[in-house]
Structure 1
Amino acid sequence: MSNYKPFVLGATALVLTAVTVTGAGMHYSQSKAYIRNSPKEVVDEVWFVINKEYVDATFNQNDWRRVRKEYLEKDYSNQEEAYDAIRDMLALLDDPYTRFMPPQDFENMQIDTSGELTGVGIQISKDKETDEVVVIAPIEETPAFEAGIISQDKIVAVDGTPTDGMELNDVVNMIRGKRGTEVILTIRRNEEILEFSIVREIIQIHPVKASIDTNAIGDIGYIRLTQFSGQATSEMREAIEDFEAQNVDGYILDLRSNPGGLLYASIDIAQMWLNGGGIVSTVNRVGEVDRQEAKAKAITDKPLVVLVDGGSASASEILSGALQDNDRAVLVGTQTFGKGLVQSVRRLGDDSGVAVTIAKYLTPSGRDINKEGIVPDFVVELEEEMREQLQADRTKIGTMADPQYSKAVELLKEQLVTGKLPIPTASEADQNS
């Protein structure tokens, strides 16, 4: 399993498993007048959000009422001191996904989920063990992708400023900038230090890339979904309907290096492939609060193979887990990221925001995505040399020169011949266990 902790998934895209942006709407006591209109007000506001919604009722074994008393007894001379106190308070939860966003970062988050932004086109995180800034994946057809940045590169400096010890949001803000300006990323790739000069551009993200692969087994509808943004649902529907009109024989859905995105997009897309069965369960601190079921709205029932890897996270895991548990598809690739927590994003009174983990996701069969990730039915590893080749020549991705895609074609052929889902051999089953 990967050691990444993707509480921010992008210098170009902050992608949450579930984004619910609301007004704070906290009905908390303000009997102590000194809290009002002071830096303490936002501290107390965050405390109440956590107290009401956080998934762990023990608050990581902290006496949460005592925490409130401690932080309200402190004096804060300005808003920045209050923000630092909020970060310290949230750190007690030991949850990288529950985080505070100052007004500018909160505004950036809303821009990020809109599908258009300015940057270089990378999704980044931090390594749990080393605290290094790690590239989860470059977004295809962006300046970073074209420059040669690849998954698992470590960003050690931005414009000469070391990233060691920096908050991830600060790294994101350094990489961002005006269109047409240059940023220099210093990268460590294995033991080699590389420097990339990249010109920032407006990144218009079209999450679905679709094409028909005509080969010996027939016409394959190949769909690569790069993230679950606001456009993903409509673009996916359009791609499937177009392929159905052309009477393709089967489908390969590529979720590799897809860091996730909006919850509703993963549910809507699952509906396009499933005519029944569960999609995902949401479990909060008092038990199951929601179970999404397929509503017989599938666009196609033709054979389907799904590609996943260690960069497939959150919404990607919801979709792939649902298709696997319902025996709708076989999965090929490597174990997914393992990010199955739900964040609700709250706007606070001063236009800052807080993302709070409110629940976790379970697949229809009850698997805890956050702990296990999704293990594919057929494990196909990519050697580092092959990954770099595919990165260098992206026209090979989703072709027979791509070993994971090649395996998917083989399995799709078996489905077309037998009418049944392929079953891993004993040795393949051992590899998956």
Structure 2
Amino acid sequence: MSNNEPVAASPGAPVVPLSVLDLVPITEGGDARRAVAETIDLARRTEQAGYARYWVAEHHLNPGVAGSSPAVVLALLAAHTSRIRLGSGAVLAGNQSALALVEQFGLLDAAAPGRIDLGLGRSASRGPAEKNGADKNGADKGGLDKGGADQPAAPKRPDRAPNGLPLPPGPPGLFALLGSRPRVAAQGDLLRGGREAQPYGEQLEDLLALLEDRYADREGGLLAATPHAGPDQEIWVMGSSGGESAQLAGALGLAFGANYHVTPGNVLEAVEAYRAAFRPSPRNAAPRVAVSADVVVAETPERAAELARGFGHWVRSIRCGDGAIAYPSPERAAELPWTAEDDALVADRIASRFVGTPEQVTAGLRLLAEATGADDLVITTITHDHEARVRSYELLAEHWARHGTPVLAAAGQP
């Protein structure tokens, strides 16, 4: 965490907006029912705090995560909010067809007109045709590329951006190792019933054609998806490297979500690849980038560190391939065994978190926004105590509104 006091934004100047990413976490001693109730409450209260978007992710077979169906969660949130944008960050495209996604998110748009973002990520497993074209390191937001081989060793990257933002590398071979786990293979089989996923690029093309009323059947007849939100719906592609996801997002003129909170060492490569590939489209005349970050804020550094104590154990459970555990309390986390190997497994995630007072976290997020040219910062916060989690978001929003990175300082990068 940077110790530099952030420079205040010019009076009245707009700052890069903050958004929320929620996995609908189950905490130790809780259950899915409580997790859903807390997500609804968090959406209401972050809307009141001024957050721009509320995105939910898709995860399966994880004992500590209840967010298995973004469309269902978003429908619940639409009924309990009125202004904040709602979206998927991300729905795993390979688990469903383009038509199903267009109709589901069209129905959501009918319930919350003009507020629904469709954020897409590659699925946890893809067909043989795509295995050799996976994102570098096999990584994508929300999933792993099953069976992807390790890539040749890349040149050593700097561990910090020029402005000091930490860029810690992840454990070598992590995604290939996780992709070989039986749980990941079973997830794909259960979700698709043995059906191979459509190649990602083809699926995105079909999805856009359906949204823009230009999808034709084999005889040239146009087919209309009903309901669908139309060409003005915001479409985001999420990615963790400079591979296929970033390049497709750019080539199709879509907005791009870069995944700093899961693969921090790749974030600059991801946004650079997206911008290099970008072609203007009716949806976006210029590149648009949202960047995610793990955050815990409290009134004192000591309190923030205490609230964040269970994070390492939670990440370890995911990276071991067994699925996220219920998020432990600080007291329980202090009792759980921990080894040097565990340290190495999660070191990049620990080093790239922003944990501290509002002033400290704002300073770190300013570095992230400036290094990546982010148009939006997507904040994900998990604590065992729900009220502490809500308060973290509130404290950050209050301070960011006065001291965050001005929009013009981060936008407009070619």
Q: Give TM-score, length-normalised by structure 1.
A: 0.29
Of structures 1 and 2, the larger Rg is shown by: 1
Which protein is richer in strand relative to its size?
A: 1
Which protein is richer in helix relative to its size?
A: 2
